[in-house]
Amino acid sequence: MKLLYKEQPQVISPGVTLRQTINKQNASLDYIELKLIDLRPEASYQETLTDYECCAVILTGQASLISGNTHLTNIGTRQSVFDKIPTDSVYLPRQTTFTLTTERKASILLCYSPTTVTKELTFIPAKDNSIEARGILNNKRLVHNILPDTSPIADRLLVVEVYTEGGNFSSYPPHKHDQDNLPEESLLEETYYHEINPPQGFVFQRVYTDDRSLDETMSVENGNVVVVPKGYHPVGVPDGYTSYYLNIMAGPTRKWQFHNDPDHEWILNR
C-alpha cells in the first residue's frame, strides 16, 4: 500500500504547475482527494466540481477567486507557511465552477471530499481560524483550525494546519480514527501535506495498525504527502527543523473522535 507521495511537478496550463495530486486512481482513499497548484503572475486556473466539495487553502501568496456572482480579491496572508500566521481559505460547494487568478504568485492546496449535500460558497478569513497550543514537554505543537468539526460550513471536510518545533512529536501519543463506532471513535481518512524549515530537512512519520498488517515508517521530506487510510500516525521532528503540515480529514460522519494507542496513552498522565 503506497503511503508516501513525492512531488512530481507538471505544467498543466500556462503559468500553472500541479505539484501534487492524490485521488482514487493513485491512493487507497475513498473520502479524500487533493491537488497542490502553483500559480505564476497573471496565471489562471479554472475547475468545475462534480459531486465533490472543496476547500481552497491559500498556502502562500495572494489570489483572487471568481465563482458566479462571487468575486474575492487579494485572499491569502503570508509569503511562507512558516510566517506562522493563519491564512485565508474558501469553501466551494459541489457542482461549482471557480476560477483562481493571481497578479503575483500563489501556492494553493485544493482539498476535496465526495458529497451529495450542497452547501453555500463561504469565504473563511484568516481571523476566523481558531488557534491552539497543544501538548506538553516534547509533545508541543501549534494548531490553526480552518475547518474543524464544529464548523457548519462543510459536509465532510475537516482541514487543519499544524506546526511542530524540532525535538517534538506531533499527532502524539499515537492515535487513530478508523472505526465507524461513535461516540467512541469515528472513521476519518487523513492526508498530511508536509513542509519543513529549512527545506533540506526531514521528519519521520509512522503509520501502523494494532495487528501490524500496516506498519510503515517513512522519512518525509519537504513537499511530500503522506496518506493515512487507517491506523495510528505519529510524526517526529529532528532537532534544528520546524515541521508544518496541513491535514485533510473526511469520512462518513464529520466528527473527529480518536482513539489513543493504549501502549502509549500513559504519557498523558505525566
Domains (range + CATH), the chain: 4-269 (2.60.120.10)
The C-alpha atoms of residue 135 and residue 186 are separated, in whole angstroms, by: 22
Q: In sequence order, what are the beta bridge partners of 221? A: 202
Please determine, for residue 6, whether its predicted confidence score (pLDDT) is greater than 90. Answer: yes
Task: Identify the pLDDT of residue 7.
Answer: 96
Instruction: With cut-offs at 50, 70 and 90, classify the pLDDT of residue 168.
Output: very high
Residue 39 has pLDDT above 90, yes or no: yes
Q: What is the dihedral of CA 171, 175, 177, 178, to 10 degrees?
A: 120
Cα separations in angstroms, 213 against 1, 116, 209, 219, 231:
11, 33, 6, 20, 10
- Contact indicator for 254, 199 with CB cutoff of 8 Å: no
- CB contact set of 6 (below 8 Å; sequence gap of 6+): 221, 223, 224
Could you give phi then psi for residue 2, rounded to 5 degrees? -80, 130
Please give the C-alpha separations between residue 42 and each of 1, 63, 69, 104, 192, in angstroms, as whole numbers. Answer: 39, 10, 21, 7, 29
pLDDT at site 250: 98
Cβ contact 163:244 at 8 Å:
yes
At position 125, the amino acid (one-letter code) is P
155 in Cβ contact with 115 (< 8 Å) = yes
Query: Average of pLDDT values for 183-198?
Result: 98
pLDDT tens readout for residues 140-156 = 999 999 999 999 999 99
The pLDDT assigned to 147 comes to: 98
pLDDT score, position 269: 87
